Amino acid sequence: MGIGMEYEQLKNELIRHGKLYYIDDNPEISDYEYDMLMERLKEMEREHPELVAPDSPTMRVGGAPLKSFESYTHSSPLLSMNDVFDLEDLRAFDRRVKAAGETDYVVEYKIDGLSVALEYIDGVFVAGATRGDGETGENVTENLKTIHSVPLKIENAPRRLVVRGEVYMTKRSFEKLNEERDNLGEPCFANPRNAAAGSLRQLDSRITAQRKLDIFCFNILDRDGESDIQTHKENLDYLRSLGFTVSPEYNVFADIEEVCSEIIRLGERRSELPFDIDGAVVKVNNLSLRETMGRSARSPRWEVAYKYPPETAKTKILDVFITVGRTGVLTPTALLEPVWLAGSTVSKASLHNLDYIRSKDIRVGDTIIIRKAGDIIPEVVETVFSMRPEDTAEFEMPSVCPECGSPVIRDEDGAAHRCIGVDCPAQRLRNLTHFASRDAMDVAGLGPAVTSLLLEAGLLKTAADLYELRSEDIAELDRMGELSSANLISAIDDSRDRGLERLLFALGIRQVGSKAAKVLAQTYGNIDRLMEADIVSLTAVPDIGEITANNIIKYFALESSRILVERLKLAGVSTEAKEERSADRRFEGKTFVLTGALERFTRDEATLMIERLGGKVSGSVSKKTSYVIAGEDAGSKLRKANELGIPVLTEEEFIRMTE
């Protein structure tokens, strides 16, 4: 057998097994066997790149990250649908249809996802794009290739075919993704639709490939050649015959009352489905009548989306407990008398913060009405005051952290209550990951996964413990080894000399970002002087307001913070400002605004040049702005500068000012 024939057979075998696993949910071989076949295919493609086929399963794993998405102009507009919210509105829709002609209807699930167009030339998938504004979307072809239910090649297709579909994430994949993100200290997605949208718009298609997206196709937007298809149902049947995944149910109904019954039936099954729906779509089945009815500027007149109301249930609050998040925020959660709601038993619901509790006057012992926001997250709708026991009391947030006993403060600029303990167990992963991040102490190789390993092994509690780690202890951990541990120790050693500016940012003091850390380091010179600064001294520093100043004072007032600083000093971590102030202060008292695309330098580089010469960079134009530096495609900031008569500099003019 020649290499070409062997490659074709192996490729087709993997395509078949992929369909069995990802689409039919009926695998014939183990994951290991599949992986071994895939490795063989990759090896053949590396050795014989001329064999690589456009429908190769290797296209599903993602490629090199893009810098940005290109725009894609849709050949046919991707219109939105008109929504209806009750059956009477649906009957009114039927009367408008009947005025144009007789027809039956097709009812489909309204998948809660992200609309896309898929373009095929000679049966090969060549481009895919988001809906965007309906006329122009983002070209996300490489990301769509990672979705196993998107055919990379179809047989017996017209020369050109454009199909519309809805990308979504199953409930099971959504729960797994959020569990992984929570373990890494990353924010969880609110619902599967947000997760799907964020995953499809990743610049790195390898990330998209890990997110397990899926798609249902539901319409033909464009095709070459004649077609004898006369109904929407025939369209869906045709798409399925080509290998596209279509809605698992699409039934035809003779009149609107049958449609109403079907909508009620589908609504009752919502909780049983493996994917989210937020309604049902009712479409005129007769394609020629669709042409007669036409469309408005934004939506077809021959279809509507019936939106389901959220389900509610009544239950009782048994208790309220506090959890501490990875940023130190205390979140009150209601422990509920278990109740069945939207497909699952609900026994707790987030109460978010004290303002939320006060606005609904929620108390332990109350009877409440709950629903699932986005059909996923339980939330309190209202309190049933008529059923309130006489002995209830208003809820109060704790004054000390339940995890570490450190003081709890309320954010001056928000509703959150926050633990300010530097070694709070609940915050360790987040704090240590931030400490080691690139803009902070820049410890290469110390990301969330490795930090989690060190925490689980008991080798880390605070940032100071990093500088006491031994290579031999790290080498014994899972997925590490002598080389990895040696590299990590070397990176930790290199971080000792980052200077005060980077250290202040790394400490994670509330509202002290990289910009504030820089001006504090320049002003005080070393950490000891900063630790002794009072409110008057701090608020006199440019860009340091009263809220930030109070956060700094509260942070260094904690014994745990002072112990951490002393341990870092003993470990040889620099607590001195790294650079002296420039003697050239020609931009002293001047405020610059950067706008548009700069070619000679990045915005960070321009900011550094300005600050080294004593100037300040602002994000908005006002009467206090001294100069605006404008690059290509400058927009509203340039217009406002011209309106206010503020001098506008080109990059060349700015460079001459710095020479």
Cβ-Cβ contacts under 8 Å for 332 (sequence gap 6 or more): 320, 321, 322, 350, 351, 352, 353, 354, 357, 395, 397
The CATH homologous superfamily to which domain 420-580 belongs is 5' to 3' exonuclease, C-terminal subdomain (1.10.150.20)
3-state helix, strand, coil in the chain (%, to 5): 40, 20, 40
Residue type present at position 382: E
Q: Write the DSSP symbol of residue 482.
A: H
> Residue 156's pLDDT is what?
87
Cβ-Cβ contacts under 8 Å for 56 (sequence gap 6 or more): 11, 41, 45, 152
Cβ-Cβ contacts under 8 Å for 592 (sequence gap 6 or more): 606, 610, 615, 616, 617, 618, 625, 626, 627, 628, 629
CB atoms within 10 A of CB 648: 17
Tens-place pLDDT, residues 153-179: 998 889 999 999 999 999 888 888 877
For 40, 367, 429, 452, 458, the CA distances from 477, given in Å and listed in that order, are 31, 50, 17, 11, 11
Determine the topology of domain 82-307 in CATH. Answer: D-amino Acid Aminotransferase; Chain A, domain 1 (3.30.470)
Taken as a whole, the chain contains a residue count of: 659
Domain ranges of the chain: 3-61, 82-307, 312-387, 420-580, 591-658
Catalytic residues: 110
What SS3 state is found at 626? coil
Residue type present at position 399: S
Bridge partners (DSSP) of residue 137 are: 72
Based on DSSP, count helices (H) and strands (E) in the chain, helices before strands: 24, 22
> Residue 158's pLDDT is what?
92
CB atoms within 10 A of CB 239: 21
> Residue 187's pLDDT is what?
67
Considering only the top CATH level, what class is 312-387? mainly beta
> Residue 27's pLDDT is what?
74
Domain 3-61 sits in CATH 1.10.287.610: yes
| 124: enclosing H helix or E strand | strand 124-130
Q: Give the rounded distance of the alpha carbon of 486 from its chain centre.
A: 34
DSSP-derived pairing of the beta strands 627-630 and 591-595: parallel
Kindly give the parts of the chain with pLDDT less than 70: 1, 21-25, 31-32, 61-67, 183-187, 190, 326, 342-344, 373-376, 413-414, 579-583, 604
> Residue 185's pLDDT is what?
62
End-to-end CA gap in the chain? 71
d(CA 62, CA 60): 6
> Residue 40's pLDDT is what?
83
Choose the CATH number for 591-658 among 3.40.50.720, 3.30.390.30, 3.40.50.10190, 3.20.20.70: 3.40.50.10190
| 107: enclosing H helix or E strand | strand 105-111
> Residue 25's pLDDT is what?
59
